[in-house]
Chains A and B, each alone.
Chain A
């Protein structure tokens, strides 16, 4: 064992920083989260072991269920809308006779580089009930005022729009680079065979993008479950916009209920691990067929 290490000390040394940092700032915190979640630690006094008390409390906590529901809404809406838009915009950008494609690519990527916090403040003003530009446009179209951020019915919409607006460009770029890797002769052959554009899209583009779409859906899922900035900067009434991750942060660092916050952290870890496993299995099955 030691001999192996000595013989290969250089590559091991090169990858060591990652593993040290992983150990220190990811593995220990994860394990520790599990432990803290079993205590009633409030941040000051010594933690006291209390079994599954925190989880029992979580189970009957309406705010927890609301946050969980909100996060699922953000996740599913993001997954559907972002993936659809990203594939659509990437296909448009990949159009053979496109003029000014560099400009289009640059401009459509811009939202992704803008900070969610800053854009959230702008969206707060755009979606203002009385003075916002959005309501003004709606009024001009003959639709009445919509109480965007002050009613529980509509308050999630600005968050979803901000999420979609900011994150679609990233996935557009990834999918676009995937489109470039599909050989053009596939399409030429299909055109000769008389397949229309829609048919070509379904039978050539989508299957060739399989791996990339899978990669995108996993990244999107992980990102959606840790959504924080968007809902933090665009709060609705009460807990109507709180994401699960935000609820964890608030219980841990606003109310200093560290044990409770850690229990939420554990739930998040379990959900993410579960989703990843399901996605991987689904992918395997798909590949076998």
Chain B
């Protein structure tokens, strides 16, 4: 009986703590959405800011006047989608080679790939800028796509997953006269769909939120991604952009990715993301 009561208390405590944590996670996002709907006549300060008596899209209209939202959104979508598609393809291709082929130096090369994660490419920002300039890729959206076509983390992740694909599947296809690249397209890719989906989600989010590389490589407003223009909002109207307009900008950046995440979450079986890294 005592044990039973103790269990209920523990259960109650755990649920309460989790509800508080969830509240802290979601509060800034909801608050941002609320403020972005506030007409300029209402107060922004203090507790009263939570109450919106007269919601309006005025702030969004002003946002579209201040910055070229559609152009920047296109830039963001382009780099995000191109980046994700190319990265998925090349990472799984390399992961496939490391997982299902035996070739001299394989283990060494694989550890080498992992070791490259320890020194982030950002430390070489100065020469990278020069290289991009030589390649004529400054102010080009491709500068955000090409360097990360095949990333070490992606290869590592795909490798872990493809290792679990039974060798017999590959062997059988070989006996049937399937060429290596076709094995990859026809056998491997369909089998690792869950891995592709969760890695796609991770990459999509990372690319959409990318800030350092766009700010480094893109130096014209028409070429900015959404993230760069948003970061410049506080100074774009001569230091006096009203807060609701800035927050309507951040809402525009955050809400699509939140919606996408929730959609993916309901489409996928829960916990597929949780398998991202196996110990």
Contact of B121 among A29, A137, A177, A180 (CB under 8 A): A29
Q: A118 and B126 in contact (CB under 8 A), knowing A104-B22, A110-B25? A: no
**B183 CB → nearest A CB, Å:** 10
Binary interface profile of B, 150-191, with partner A (CB < 8 Å = 1, else 0)? 111001000000000000000000000000110010000000
Interface segment out of the listed A66-74, A75-83, A248-256:
A248-256
A276 CA / B118 CA spacing, docked (Å): 7
**Is the beta-carbon distance between B126 and A265 smaller than 8 angstroms?**
yes
A-side contacts of B130, CB under 8 Å: 32
Within 8 A of A (CB), among B203-222: 205, 208-209, 211-212, 216
Q: Does A117 contact B (CB under 8 A)?
A: yes
Known interface pairs A92-B18, A252-B125, A273-B118. Does A110 touch B247 (Cβ–Cβ under 8 Å)? no
Known A105-B270, A121-B230, A174-B276; judge A116-B29 contact (CB<8 A).
no
Q: A17-B149, A118-B230 are in contact. Are A30 and B123 (CB under 8 A)?
A: yes
Cα of A155 to Cα of B14 in the assembled complex, Å: 33
CA distance A105 to B234 in the complex (A): 34
**B180 touching A265, Cβ below 8 Å:** no
Is A286 positioned at the interface, with any CB of B under 8 Å from its CB? no
Cβ contact within 8 Å between A249 and B104: no
B37 at the interface (CB under 8 A from A): no
B78: Cβ under 8 A from any A Cβ: no
Check: B81 CB closer than 8 A to any chain A CB. Answer: no
A114 near B254 with CB under 8 A, answer yes
Main secondary structure of the interface of B (DSSP, over half): helix
Closest Cβ of chain B: how far from A116's Cβ, in Å?
7
| CB contact under 8 A between A11 and B103, given known A116-B209, A181-B279 | yes
Cβ–Cβ contact A122 & B18, under 8 A: no
Q: Which of B10, B97, B113, B181 has the most CB of A within 10 A?
A: B97
| Most interface-central of B152, B254, B258 (chain A CB within 10 A) | B254
Chain B 252-263 per-residue mask, 1 if CB under 8 angstroms from chain A, else 0: 011001100110
Which positions 41-80 of chain B face chain A at CB distance < 8 Å? Answer: 44-47, 49
A241 to chain B, nearest CB (A): 15
A240 within 8 A of B: no
Contact of B270 among A17, A102, A117, A197 (CB under 8 A): A102
- Given A18-B150, A30-B119, A32-B124, verify A173-B227 contact (CB < 8 Å): no
Q: For the complex, is A220 an interface residue (Cβ under 8 Å from B)? A: no
Tell me if A26 counts as interface (CB < 8 A to partner B): yes
Determine the distance from Cα of A273 to Cα of B123 in the docked complex, in whole angstroms. Answer: 12
- Does A133 touch B at the CB level, under 8 Å? yes
Query: Is B253 a contact partner of A28 (Cβ separation < 8 A)?
Result: no
Chain B residues contacting A45 (CB-CB under 8 Å) are: none
Q: Cβ of A133 and Cβ of B46 under 8 Å apart?
A: yes
List, in ascending order, chain B residues with CB within 8 A of A4's CB: 103-104
By beta carbon, the residue of chain A nearest B32 is A122
Q: Do A121 and B212 touch (CB < 8 A)? A: no
A33 touches B124 (CB 8 A): yes
CA distance in complex: A253, B133 (Å): 14
**Chain A residues with Cβ under 8 A from B148's Cβ?**
21
Chain A 88-132 per-residue mask, 1 if CB under 8 angstroms from chain B, else 0? 010011010111001111111111111111110111111000111
21 contacts between A and B (CB under 8 A): A19-B109, A21-B148, A25-B121, A25-B131, A29-B125, A29-B127, A36-B126, A92-B21, A107-B25, A121-B231, A121-B247, A122-B247, A122-B250, A133-B49, A209-B279, A228-B122, A232-B231, A253-B125, A261-B125, A261-B126, A273-B119
Which B residues have a C-beta under 8 Å from some C-beta of A?
Answer: 7, 10-11, 14-15, 17-18, 21-22, 24-26, 28-29, 31-32, 35, 44-47, 49, 90, 93-94, 96-98, 101, 103-104, 106, 109, 113, 116-131, 146-152, 155, 180-181, 184, 205, 208-209, 211-212, 216, 227, 230-231, 233-234, 243, 246-247, 249-250, 253-254, 257-258, 261-262, 265, 270-271, 273-279
Task: Write the residues of chain A forming the contact surface with B, with a CB cutoff of 8 angstroms.
Answer: 4, 8, 10-12, 14-15, 17-19, 21-22, 24-26, 28-30, 32-33, 36, 89, 92-93, 95, 97-99, 102-119, 121-126, 130-133, 136-137, 140, 165, 169, 173-174, 176-178, 180-181, 197, 209, 211-212, 215, 218, 222, 225-226, 228-229, 232-233, 245, 248-249, 252-253, 258, 261-262, 265, 268-269, 272-273, 276
